Amino acid sequence: MCNKVKKLGIDMGNRTICVAGLNEFNEIVKAYTNSVYSLDTALISGDVVTFNGLSLALGVGQITLTNVDKTNREHLEHQILWSVYSVYGTGTHYIDLGIGLPISIYKAKKEQYKDEIEKLGTLEGTINGKAISVNLTNVKIFAEGHASIKTLANYIDKDNTTLLIDIGMKTTDVLLLEYNGKFTINKYATINIALYDIYKVLQDEIAQQGVEVSIEEIDKRINGNKPVIRTEKGDYNLMTNLKSTVHVCRDIMKDIENKFGKTILHDKVFTGGGSEKFLNAVAGKIKNNIDIPTDMRYYSNSIGYLLGL
């Protein structure tokens, strides 16, 4: 049974890696880490992944907002090894892999991306000192957002058109869905305002109170449920002060309206790492918003890749 092929869906964002696999009972297992990394492996709050002689502490470090389109992602091998480990542990694994590209570049880049990943073949390394071998038996590339429709279908009202709004760290991807026997995408667009812009407002406010804090630290504190930062003027609560970012949220919605027309005409489903922060900032002021479980906001793509294999 050790050679049994296992399925894995990986959603690699600019800030996070969300993974979905299947356990021995065919139940979906999910895992998550930050996609940042550090060469300082003494920072043991992250898993230390070694491949081809290079060790990285995955999940710790600073956000690098370079112009990457995921087909030129650094240290992809380390991140695939960690993703397999997060669901299936160390040892030898044969993996059918589902992974995504933004829908805006999917058609142009999917074959190139597939070839690049297939060429990796067998990956051998260590996770926290324990050996792991990953044999990629099959690779399938999905369009982000489109893959999540299957995961979210039970939450969407098929009688209405729906905007699927995926708020990432760098960009917000938007799909307009319609149901005619099956879901179809009428239109899609990318908005260049996202979670980073929300965090930048908080960062600037904290700086005005005499403390310099990184975007990565803000994200880590919010996601770790430790939102209070001590400043010269007293405690600054990141969650409470998300209300200060509502103008950024309005800019996101305004840009969506510029591309899709009046958003009030459509239901809305918010996904991605920035969705919870956005919804907290606007405090229920989005009309026709469809409420979905929090984990679906984060894992809808990775689960969609898994189910599509």
Over 60: is that where the pLDDT of 6 sits?
Answer: yes
pLDDT digits (tens, 9 = 90+) for 31-40: 988 776 666 6
Q: What are phi and psi of 197, to 5 degrees?
A: -70, -35
Over 50: is that where the pLDDT of 66 sits?
Answer: no
Q: Which of 74, 1, 37, 52 is closest to 216 using CA atoms?
A: 37
| pLDDT at 65 (0 to 100) | 45
pLDDT digits (tens, 9 = 90+) for 206-221: 999 999 998 888 988 9
pLDDT digits (tens, 9 = 90+) for 138-174: 999 999 999 999 899 999 999 999 999 999 988 999 9
| pLDDT at 14 (0 to 100) | 76
Over 50: is that where the pLDDT of 67 sits?
Answer: no
The domain ranges of the chain are 5-145, 157-289
The class level of CATH for 5-145 reads alpha beta
| pLDDT at 57 (0 to 100) | 82
Mean of the per-residue pLDDT values for the chain?
Answer: 91
| pLDDT at 75 (0 to 100) | 85
CATH fold of 157-289: Nucleotidyltransferase; domain 5 (3.30.420)
Please tell me if the domain spanning 5-145 has the same topology as the one spanning 157-289. yes
Over 70: is that where the pLDDT of 24 sits?
Answer: yes
Q: Which residues contact 272 (CB under 8 A, 6 or more apart)?
A: 13, 165, 166, 167, 168, 172, 173, 195, 297, 298
Structure-token match 């982000």, residue found:
144
Predicted confidence band of residue 193 (pLDDT cuts 50, 70, 90)? very high
pLDDT digits (tens, 9 = 90+) for 87-101: 999 999 999 999 999
| pLDDT at 61 (0 to 100) | 62
Strands (E), the chain: 5-12, 16-22, 28-34, 37-38, 47-51, 54-58, 91-101, 122-127, 130-143, 162-167, 172-179, 183-191, 228-231, 234-237, 267-271
pLDDT digits (tens, 9 = 90+) for 242-283: 999 999 999 999 999 999 999 999 999 999 999 999 999 998
Q: Which residues contact 76 (CB under 8 A, 6 or more apart)?
A: 117, 120
